[in-house]
Structure 1
Amino acid sequence: MDEREFRRGDVQELTDFELTVYETVAEIDKEGGAADFETIERLVDAPEEDLWAALGHLVSINHLHSTSKGYQLGPHDWAP
């Protein structure tokens, strides 16, 4: 597997809003699930365009992965 798949952006570059979105996905993922957009939208209660922007950024820096079932955590070095 390519080592770039394991690289993530620095958490310090995330906004408070992006951290909220990340933590929302992490809560769902720790139970073994994937967070679909509608669930994230309901739990975070923010404008759709802001959510899409945050999710896009989190995926682009490898903090989240987009799957057919929804969003899940990218590679991380902490235990659930």
Structure 2
Amino acid sequence: MDEREGRRGDVQELSEFELAVYETVAEIDKGGGAADFDTVSRLVAAPEEELWAALGHLVEVNHLHSTPKGYVLGPHDWAP
């Protein structure tokens, strides 16, 4: 098992853009949904490559999980 698995990266290491992407996914997740790429792309105006990179990094550091329906929050310590 990877020692990072299950652990979340430090939010202070995220860029402002990554935080904006995270907050967009969090709003959708809070409503019980999963954020598909097209929805995130529509809500966060940015080049596709930058958006894929941000989503990939957020998944890598366990802030988001990628599911068949879209992106959802990873483990977090705040109430909905």
TM-score scaled by length of structure 1: 0.94
Q: What do the CA deviations read for 1:12-57 (whole angstroms, capped 9, x no partner)?
A: 1000000000000000000010000000000001100000000000
Query: When the two structures are aligned, how many residues end up with a matched partner?
Result: 79
Q: Distance in 2 between matches of 1:23 and 1:35?
A: 11
Q: Which residue of 2 aligns with 1:58?
A: 58
What is the CA RMSD across the aligned residues, in angstroms? 1.4
Corresponding residue SS for 1:78:
coil
Structure 1 spans left out of the alignment, 5+ residues? none
TM-score scaled by length of structure 2: 0.94
Structure 2 spans left out of the alignment, 5+ residues? none
Comparing both structures, which one devotes a greater share of its residues to helix?
1
Q: Distance in 1 between matches of 2:28 and 2:3?
A: 26
Over 6 Å off, 4+ runs:
none
Report percent identity of matched pairs: 82
Q: Distance in 1 between matches of 2:73 and 2:5?
A: 13
Q: Distance in 2 between matches of 1:56 and 1:5?
A: 15
